[in-house]
Amino acid sequence: MRKKFFTDYDLKELKSKLSLIIEDEDDDAFKTHFSQIFFAKHDDRVTGYLRNESFKLWVYDSAAGSTGIFYPTIKGNLIPRSQGTEIQFSSKMNVIGRTVFLTFILILSFGILTEIVIQETNELKYLIPRALMGMLLLGLVSTVPLLLYFRTLRIIKRHLINELKLSHQR
């Protein structure tokens, strides 16, 4: 999905529209995401903040289980132009999701390396197929959290594009 969008709103009007979209104001910090995931704080609500010429927002939905802990945080930089405003989007997985994902991948990698790849017979003709099988297994298992992340990111960006009436061209 594109990262640059344009709108006909001036900066002040765009900020007022964004403040209506953000239902609960909170910082993008470990404590915030922890309480959101484990205590359902701000559950199923657009959470984030609007500061100066940037905003950050995210949505965690525990009831439907649609976002899981791997939901994205979306950052937008607002750049005033002669006619309207440009918004540059960037995103990353929330801090709890990244921590769990990386820990899981490291543990799984160690397990695959020690139990599947390295065996008593480490001849090259056996080592290469075992290494390929281990990489395939690691790749398959790591796609689930990444698919959740990208699916949720696409849904949130589409919602923003529709709510703010954004366009790709200028």
- pLDDT category of residue 156 using cuts at 50, 70 and 90: confident
Whether the per-residue pLDDT at 168 is higher than 90: the answer is no
Q: In this predicted structure, what is the pLDDT of residue 133? A: 87
The string of pLDDT tens digits covering residues 7-22 is 888 888 889 999 999 9
The string of pLDDT tens digits covering residues 62-119 is 665 556 788 899 999 999 988 888 999 999 999 999 999 999 999 988 888 887 777 7
Whether the per-residue pLDDT at 58 is higher than 60: the answer is yes
Please report how many Cα atoms fall inside a 13 Å half-sphere around the Cα of residue 90, on the Cβ side: 4
Please state the rounded mean pLDDT for residues 126-155.
87
Residue closest to 73 by CA, chosen among 56, 98, 51, 61:
56
The string of pLDDT tens digits covering residues 22-56 is 988 989 999 988 888 888 777 778 899 999 899 99
Helix or strand holding residue 152 (H, E): helix 124-164
Q: Model-level pTM?
A: 0.80
Q: In this predicted structure, what is the pLDDT of residue 129? A: 83
Helix (H, G, I), strand (E, B) or coil at 74: strand
CA angle 131, 149, 77 (to 5 degrees): 125
Query: How far apart, in whole angstroms, are the C-alpha atoms of residue 83 and residue 170?
Result: 9
Domain boundaries, the chain: 4-164
